[in-house]
Chains A and B, each alone.
Chain A
Amino acid sequence: MHKSFSKLISVQTGILFLLLLVSCNKIYDPIPGASYSAGDVSNTLAKKLAANSSYSIFNAALNRTGLYTVLDQANAKFTVFAPTDAAFTASGLSLAVVNAMPLDQLTSAINYHIIPNETITGAQIPVTVPSVEKKSALNITTTAFVPSIPTTAIPIKMSIFPSKRATGTWVNNIPVTAADVITGSNGVVHSVAVIVSPPTRVLLDTLSRDPEFTYLMAAVARADSGLTSASTSSLQYALGQPFANLTVFAPTNTAFQTLLTGAITQALVLQNVPLATAQAQAAALASTPAVFSNPALFSVLTATTVKGIVSYHVMGQRFFSVNFNATAANYPTLLNLGIPTHPGVSVSSTLVNNFGAALSVKGAANATAATAIATAAGVDRHAVNGNFFKINQVLMPQ
């Protein structure tokens, strides 16, 4: 008893001493938000770009559009294809022009250079065929494209296609002049040779607006045998719906006239029409796109035949000229959906300064290859749902 009593006393004294040492009370400590980290905010792409004098126009655009704050968010990931000042100049855009551009247009253009939620270094850009599809920061509502296609107004992300070959790296058809120029806490920046313009229309819309393709569109309508773009089995639907990835070799009106005149003449001659008459009749018949809706010619231009020819001009994947090789190679077309063994089209493309400079495409039954007609921006003509080339011959599958 005595022992335990003195023990108790010593426990008490011990506690007393302990108390003098430990006079701080602990209470629940977490300060709200304390476990949150804004990340490495001093090394964001926005800050690193701002510190880089080669991107002064791009930086001005980021500031003007407010996208600086987006790229300044450290808890995020981005892959940015940033045009240098030289690239802006090459695209004909000075700082003054950029500052004067309508803001929404500028915002769309800059957003198209950004892939959110992913950090894709130069080494990670794949060499696959077709090119990998990435979603840019540019959102457009589907109804903005083809009012004739009834869709609900859902935001879609405009696709962008980084690709790589032994000869270089591109985004869409634009050369990446230097990969991994900037690595920040929230992503990576690659330099591009010129600005990467976002497409604004779907193929159906673009082709329909171009007077050089009235025959092609008439052929498409004939191939659809009266089906409208609202019907999912129609070619028009395929060309009109914004989520597709297509490549179209679009023959000009002249190419169709040449083909049709020859074909009709041949058919008339076989019916013992004198050649001169046949030529004149054929030229008259082929002088308008209505040739495809002329009942007298239905036996010659059957829907199946026309559909076969039109399908032969469309690839079910999105290719830019830079994605083809200099030596011709065969690629399947939509025709292969019906005839899997068909050899497809043979395509070759050459580069100048890593831009696609010349593209040739040859149908299986063509004697010669057709060539793509270039604009100042090159041979590629980019639409929301695909890329197309304006060619000078109709491709013949057989």
Chain B
Amino acid sequence: MKKKLSGILLMVTICLLSLHSMAQSVTIKGNVKSVSSKEAIPAVSVGIKGTSYGVYTDEKGDFSITVSKLPVTLVISSVGYETKEQTITNASEMVMVQLGNISTLGQEVVVSATRVATKILESPVSIERISAASIQSSPVASYYDVISNFKGVDMMSSSLTFKTPTTRGFLGSGNVRFNQIVDGMDNQAPGLNFSVGSVIGLSELDVDNMELLPGASSALYGPGGMNGTLLINSKNPFKYQGLSFQVKQGIMHTDKKFRDASPYYNWNLRWAKKIGEKFAFKVTGEFVQAKDWLAADYRNYNKGTGTLASGDRLTNPDYNGINVYGDEVARDIRPIINNFAVIPGYAALIATLPTTMNVSRTGYTEKELIDPYTINFKVGGSLNYKINGNTEAILSGYMGSGNTVYTGSDRYSLLDLKMAQFKFEINSKNWLIRAYTTQENSGNSYNLTATTSFFNEAWKPTQQWLPEYVASYLDNRLSLGMNDQQAHIAARAFADKGRPVAGTPAFNQLFNFIKGIPIGKPRSGAPYGGGRFLDKTDLYNVEGQYNLSHLTKGFADVLVGGNYKQYVLNSQGTLFADSTGTIGIYEVGGYVQAAKELFNEKVRLTVSGRFDKNENFKARFTPRATALIRLSKNNNLRLSYQTAYRFPSTQMQWINLFVGGDYWLIGGNKDFRSYYGLNSNPVYAVVNNVATSQVVQVGDLKPESVTSFEIGYKGLNLNENLLVDVYAYYGQYQDFLTRRLVIQNPTNAATVRKFSIPLNSSSKVKTYGFGIGLDYKLPLNFTIGANFSSDNLTDVPAGFQASFNSPKYRTNLKFANLGFGKDNRIGFSVIYKWMDSYHFDSDFIVGEVPAVNTLDAQVSYKIPQTRSVLKIGGSNILNQYYVQGPGNPAIGGIYYVSFAYNVF
């Protein structure tokens, strides 16, 4: 890794040296203020008309721009303000500019829809944009949560600090069908396969904007964006300067239902500075600490059949609680009981007992196992160098570390997880090149089920525990007269005698020992190994893009690009089949896009195509076509045909994990077939946890793909006071990637093995849905908004686990004021969200998610002199706990007070 970094640094130096700087002679100085508040406006773009050259005002509203000769015309613009042009003939005077506020409905500019800047009203596909200002005026505690207030968005919180958004279904904390791209970097953890935007990524004050593209988007952003793509862009240090900070202090668990009331800390810092005209840098940091939401779903779950079972730890000896770990290990005690029949007086009772009596080990709850504190620590920064008016070189890095919890096929405590992304980029008016790497280190992360089961074995092996249990059970019945249930309870207490109590030094010592031992690496005191995974998988990516439009002017706007990706899987055999060395996987891709105005600029047609090749899979071509029809000014109809696909994730290709209970989770690479002899020694289908005689042929995996059609309308109505956005889509999935359970040697108890193998479903499942969003601007800065959306999955064959995990209907209602009272200093917003109940499929738990209602609200007070905001707010202020998936935490209210300095 060091080598690669120094390589990147060398590249930077060469690039900087090889580009010359422009010669300039006259310097114009000026200041920009708001007409209404007479306060300075920072980050206002001051450009020279007819060129792409420009600067930004600093935090005092001052700017300084150097031109070669006078006169020039300056174009002064900023989002939310009118644009002014001013001709300068004399540079000796300060240029004093005052900008008036204007309606912002539908005026934002988005980039991600077509990879070129477009007015949001003219985006040819559905898109949502979240600006820094909307983050600032949002009531929720973290900027990731803002996304969930948009139509069609679902958000999974597997921890306070681990949030995964999705659109159009497939909610899950490891959603591999939804890309998250931060400053041009895909931030999926390359080995763990979940997107880590909320764990590393940007700190809140550094977020310039977020753009959400619901629906298929592979054609532009490469494999993965089957359901949508979220792009988060940071603030450029040339544009946003100065020191900003935000201190958010909150309180959670106020009703003490799951934990004692505890503080929530969220501190943010950003410092950016321009040094001279050419050089700027920024440093950002964020620290979040709180007692995490608790997953306390103690219902009894039968993993074999995927259904809830009756009873609890006291009433069901075979209890397997959802958020209770270690109780997955269960055995039939009847064979042991039968050995006692020879003792006189026992046989009569034994004859009355059921023929199978499954008893599970005693587990520990998630509350007892996981450190209650979730911590998230992010640092980032960039060095920006303006090579010339059009070209900027950026070297940036983001690092994040923390404790959080992830829900995959199990709950995983991501302890001391470290992720870093480093990027070098040069972008110019017409082109960009970018190289980045994602460095992942799973730290001390561990799997809760495996760790706790092995902990139980280390404390008292099941082979010893069970006979103790049985002897006690029979004695309880025959000597103490207890009924079956009471005898089981007392037998458990007997076999568990001396069992380390969670939190005691004895427990901590043994548990820390087991959780520190890698999976599948037995050692003295831990005969089955531990639960820790050692993932240090890395990703390297190089990409470039060129806009040929200036060459193809008159014919069409043409854009080309390409990328090369290299994964290096490195888990030392704890996660992947890489015990003998790292596994490399490369992918290469290229795209071309052409856009043309037709019928007197009534229609803009865009056609694009993308070609990708992964070394383990055949090459794929994904086309996309969009049309924007301008019905009238600010009223546009959009039509799109999009395709997207994803290669099986690194885990689907190479995972090799012994999950316990003779059960292996394996990848789909052909090497697994020969290694485990899956076809030479046939494997059989398992249905409802029972082996069948149906032989399963294990074949090659194919990428999964989706084809979707969408129609939408976006327009300003009612005197430009009502923004309407409507869409409807239809999509069809093909070669759906899923997993199934098979069994090898089912009749031989000594060699029987179960495998969860990945495979492509031959069924074509279909999705469809719609969304409608209305935003109405009332007088006096009041706004009211409502959206309603629906997502559906059909043609799902029986027994097929689609993991669509999306409510059929959901709605958001918003009422806000961006400024009233003296100098429009006071603002507020109230957001109400409702989600229908839905069925949740996952490798961890399958079950129903009840309907969710939440109310978020904030009141803020602006201090214009220091551009500061004092805010009191709360998310889920009624403290109505809700869950987004069974086995995931119950999320309650967070109430906070925040002070943000220099943020607008």
Contact = CB atoms under 8 A, between A and B. Distances in A.
Interface of A: 8, 11-12, 15-16, 19, 22-28, 30-36, 70, 73, 75-78, 114-118, 135, 137, 139, 154-157, 159, 186-187, 243
Interface in B16-40: none
B880 A25 contact: yes
B369 to A, nearest CB: 15
Contact of A32 (B312, B788, B853, B882): B312
B698 interface: no
Given A23-B853, A26-B850, A116 B479 contact: yes
B171 to A, nearest CB: 17
Given A25-B852, A76-B486, A135-B345, A70 B480 contact: yes
Contacts of B321: 32
Residue from B311, B481, B786, B850 whose CB has the most chain A CB atoms within 10 Å: B481
Interface in B426-476: 475
A63 to B, nearest CB: 17
Contacts of A36: 312, 314-315, 485
A157 B298 contact: no
A361 B480 CA distance: 40
Given A23-B853, A26-B851, A137-B479, A15 B834 contact: yes
A154 B341 CA distance: 12
**Complex A-B, nearest 4 residue pairs according to Cβ-Cβ distance, in ascending order:** A116-B481, A75-B486, A36-B314, A26-B850
Given A25-B881, A75-B486, 17 more contacts: A8-B788, A11-B788, A19-B832, A23-B878, A25-B854, A25-B882, A27-B882, A31-B298, A32-B312, A33-B312, A35-B310, A35-B311, A76-B480, A135-B478, A154-B343, A155-B343, A155-B475
Nearest to B481: A116
Contacts of A118: 481
Given A15-B834, A23-B878, A73-B482, A117 B477 contact: yes
Nearest to B471: A155
Contact of A25 (B312, B322, B850): B850
Given A28-B886, A73-B486, A154-B343, A22 B481 contact: no
B486 A157 contact: no
B478 A25 contact: no
B481 A243 contact: no
Interface in B295-336: 297-299, 310-315, 321-322
B344 A156 contact: yes
A65 to B, nearest CB: 13
Nearest to B314: A36
A135 B348 CA distance: 11
B365 to A, nearest CB: 8
A20 to B, nearest CB: 9
A338 to B, nearest CB: 26
B405 interface: no
B883 interface: yes
A60 to B, nearest CB: 21
B745 interface: no
Contact of A30 (B299, B349, B852, B890): B299
A27 to B, nearest CB: 5
B159 interface: no
A304 to B, nearest CB: 32
Contacts of A27: 850, 881-883, 890
B772 interface: yes
Given A27-B883, A30-B312, A19 B853 contact: yes
B252 interface: no
Contacts of A22: 851, 853
Given A30-B298, A36-B315, A156-B344, A76 B482 contact: yes
A75 B482 contact: yes
B835 to A, nearest CB: 10
Interface in B779-826: 786, 788, 809, 811, 813
Given A27-B881, A30-B298, A157-B345, A16 B480 contact: no
Nearest to B770: A8
B307 to A, nearest CB: 14
21 contacts: A8-B772, A11-B788, A19-B832, A25-B853, A28-B298, A30-B299, A32-B298, A75-B482, A75-B485, A78-B481, A115-B481, A116-B478, A116-B480, A117-B477, A137-B479, A137-B481, A154-B343, A155-B475, A156-B344, A157-B345, A187-B481
A159 B322 CA distance: 45
B338 interface: no
A372 B832 CA distance: 94
Contacts of A35: 310-312, 314-315
Contacts of B310: 35
Nearest to A118: B481
Contact of A117 (B314, B481, B788, B813): B481
Nearest to A242: B344
Contacts of A159: 345
Nearest to B832: A19
Contacts of B297: 28
A70 B486 CA distance: 12
B692 interface: no
